[in-house]
Structure 1
């Protein structure tokens, strides 16, 4: 009987692959991608101007990262510029999206009036707006931050409004029956209920913030990884071009991971409830 119970417990216990996919499956996917990349270049003979060998990209990445952070020929200086633009735009766009999402949801007449215009503005291609930002703000920091802010604004707004709609009306009615003030409802019920949706929007916006900064640098910039991409593309330096692309991917992952760490700190209760529901 004990042997049967232990066997059932072992089968019910999730395996390592299911419990830690980021430590098992993710590295396997990376190895498979690198192997396919190597086969395409060194075995199948893909042209280097189309797909450079991974070892060339690695050498270019190491060469750029081993330079001084103040050396404009290296990657650290330009990465710092791009990250600063992305962080500022992300902070501004996310704050505006969260606040406006609460306002438009709390007063439905405002939401119904303004939401179509917000969606219409969001549908505009941001690359087309980038030259206009240069006219308005010049080639400085402000234009890149503005583009990043309008790109990160919409995901946070939509998720905040979805979170507000997901608040259980019974909880609000119960609080009001206990003479709870509007401020108490907002801080103790509405905002905590919106946090899982808010962090979902912040996770998307954190990745889009890198895109916004790079788009702004494409149009006009004296520094930044987007400017390096344009330079390497014009000079047909494909290996450094791929190195910068990989660096941007790593930065985007780190920003998304930072948001997930904050979510674990301030929204742990939602993750625990989801885990309980799955079990």
Structure 2
């Protein structure tokens, strides 16, 4: 309990310091409201958005695009990473394509994705898939290739089949690396969704930020950014929770080492 309270205290200290600096900038340094809105103005925009209900449609549009793209991209990355780590010829065939695709700026790909998949939600999902794929793919391959050699030797000595060795030894050993990639992909998925909404959308938090910029409603822009930040923090915490529950042997091993 003490560790949980301490863990919650540090983010609150950081948030308090940022809020204090924000208040000083607005009320002491007289930063114009069109540059930095007052905290109460942002709270008012959040109240209008979520209590009066004006933001919910945009929020769920971005959330659904992000969630669908995240799941599809991460599952595809884990599957392709597993194939690449198991077969050398697959690594030679797929790695150059993945690296070439990752080298292309996603902002530059957005108009092409728009042409191919249209203005609907599909184009936003595809963008999220592309930005999520690479970090999970790389972490999956690295984790699978770093399986302890002594475990693999034990499997060979016991005549364990390749498929069983993968599921019972290689995949559990790589789980920590895979979850690290999943945490990175959470943040990138939101970036991908917002970029796609910037390019072409009449819905979503990215569209809301874009539209507010044209009308100079900076408080609404900040409210949308706070919504995206909350979405990212909650998503990251969910992945961390799943990591702790599913890859429980890492915590047990760490506790054993400390003792």
- TM-score computed with the length of structure 2 as normaliser: 0.95
Q: Which residue of 1 aligns with 2:79?
A: 99
Whole-Å Cα distance in 2 between the matches of residues 278 and 47 of structure 1?
52
**Is 1:42 matched with 2:24?**
no
Whole-Å Cα distance in 2 between the matches of residues 37 and 151 of structure 1?
32
Q: Any unmatched runs of 5+ in structure 2?
A: none
Q: Which residue of 2 aligns with 1:182?
A: 162
Say how many residue pairs are matched.
259
**Is 1:240 matched with 2:225?**
no
Whole-Å Cα distance in 2 between the matches of residues 171 and 148 of structure 1?
36
Please give the residue correspondences for 1:10-159 in structure 2 after superposition, counting only pairs within 5 Å: 20-68=5-53, 74-159=54-139
Bigger CA drift: 198-207 or 107-116? Answer: 107-116
Q: Which residue of 2 aligns with 1:13?
A: none
Structure 1 residue 20: deviation in Å? Answer: 4.4
Q: Any unmatched runs of 5+ in structure 1?
A: 1-15, 69-73
Matched residue SS, 1:145: helix
Structure 1 residue 259: deviation in Å? Answer: 1.0
Structure 1 residue 192: deviation in Å? Answer: 0.6
Query: In structure 2, which of residues 178, 195, 200 is the aligned counterpart of residue 220 of structure 1?
Result: 200
Query: In structure 1, which of residues 199, 204, 208 is the aligned counterpart of residue 179 of structure 2?
Result: 199
Whole-Å Cα distance in 2 between the matches of residues 276 and 170 of structure 1?
20
Structure 1 residue 120: deviation in Å? Answer: 2.0
Q: Which residue of 2 aligns with 1:12?
A: none
Structure 1 residue 212: deviation in Å? Answer: 1.1
- Ranked by relative contact order (alpha carbons within 8 Å, sequence separation 6 or more), the top structure is 2
Whole-Å Cα distance in 2 between the matches of residues 278 and 141 of structure 1?
49
Q: Which residue of 1 aligns with 2:152?
A: 172
Matched residue SS, 2:101: helix
Structure 1 residue 278: deviation in Å? Answer: 4.5
Root-mean-square deviation (CA, aligned residues, Å) is 1.6
Bigger CA drift: 87-96 or 163-172? Answer: 163-172
Structure 1 residue 83: deviation in Å? Answer: 0.5
- TM-score computed with the length of structure 1 as normaliser: 0.89
Query: In structure 1, which of residues 252, 255, 260 is the aligned counterpart of residue 235 of structure 2?
Result: 255
Q: Which residue of 2 aligns with 1:4?
A: none
Q: Which residue of 2 aligns with 1:268?
A: 248
